Amino acid sequence: MVKKKRKTTGKSAVTLSLTSQAIDRLAEMAQKSGFSRSAFVENLMAGAVAIAAPEAEKNLCVTVTQKADDEPQVQVSLAENTALSSAPAVFSDSVDSATLTEKITAQEKIIADLEAKLVAANAPRQETVVPAKSTGLTTAQTTKITALETQLKEQEAQLKKSTRAMQEMQQKLDRVALEKAALQQEIDKKDQILAQTKIDQAALTKGIEAEKAMVAQLQQQSNANAAAKVTEAELQETITALRQEKEQLQGQFQEATQAQASLGRKVTQLEEALKAAQADRTQALASLQQAYSDLKQQYKTQGDRLRILESKAHQTTAVTSVGEFYLNRWRKY
């Protein structure tokens, strides 16, 4: 039986201007994928190898179609960015962070298993010719798995970003709590000052009444003891001094009253600020709780898709084994 000749494609040398960092990265990618640099670029252009970058600005989708003995047709299109929105996530008290970490670890293990299977399925074989239909199925599933892995990595990066946002929000809430405690201390201090002011005011009022009683007593003594040594001038000086002291006490009383009114206004402002801070905190917590529920639902959907894809990968491995079996059998003839 005569073997069919393979269709070969002519190769041309291409000169690229790359930085030393880009050249090192290209060599590292080729080494880790098990290809030479030229073979790595060939497979990358053919859609057999995909580069997953969670923070990529643009994603290109490579579709390979092949019919009968025709050469594979490669189509390149710009894929839409499927990254999750950057809404911060918040964990409720009932959510165990250790459980979520275990789920992420399990998904990473599934991805590693799929990657190992893909490397085994795409590894170069000596004198191996897989039927066209089988090759098309493997390439399509490889592209699909690669896209799903890229999306999962984007979700993991988004989860880290959401966790950082949650930590920042918690720090902000802690600062609000500290500010609230400081405001409460200031209010307590103002209340103490206000209470002391009232005590001082009562003492001033009592002192003024005592001075009035003393003036009245002196006047009575002056009227009753006309022949006493206390002259009218001395009595007048005493009265004048008492009046001056009375005026000073009245001035201090007015200042205390004004200080009391000012403290009352400050207390009102502090209470309003506390109410506003508590309202903002409640609204932020509700928004973050909703965002976390949405992200948790998306993780559940993604896990279901991974299980389906893993089943398809097993089927692909079985089809490849059957193809190799028939190929080896065909070679014997």
The answer to whether the CB of 52 falls within 8 A of the CB of 255 is: no
pTM of the model: 0.25
Average pLDDT of every residue of the chain: 74
Looking at residue 66, its pLDDT comes to 61
Q: Which residues of 150-187 are buried (b: 16+ CB within 10 A; e: fewer)?
A: bbbbbbeebbeebbebbeebeeeeeebeeebeebeeeb
Residue among 270, 265, 253, 266 nearest 197 (CA):
253
Angle, CA 189 vertex, CA 250 and CA 184 arms, to 5°:
140
Burial of 87 per CB tally in 10 Å (0-12, 13-18, 19+)? middle
Looking at residue 121, its pLDDT comes to 58
Tens of pLDDT, residue by residue over 11-48, are: 666 677 788 888 888 888 888 888 888 888 888 877 77
Tens of pLDDT, residue by residue over 156-197, are: 787 787 778 778 888 888 888 888 888 898 898 888 898 888
Domain boundaries, the chain: 174-287
Looking at residue 5, its pLDDT comes to 46
Looking at residue 132, its pLDDT comes to 38
Tens of pLDDT, residue by residue over 67-125, are: 555 666 767 777 655 443 333 333 333 334 555 566 666 666 766 666 666 666 555 44
The answer to whether the CB of 161 falls within 8 A of the CB of 181 is: no
Q: Where are the alpha helices (DSSP H) in the chain?
A: 20-33, 37-46, 97-122, 132-224, 232-332
The answer to whether the CB of 32 falls within 8 A of the CB of 23 is: no
Q: Return left, alpha or beta for 77; rule: phi > 0 is left, psi -120 to 50 is alpha, else beta.
A: beta
Looking at residue 79, its pLDDT comes to 63
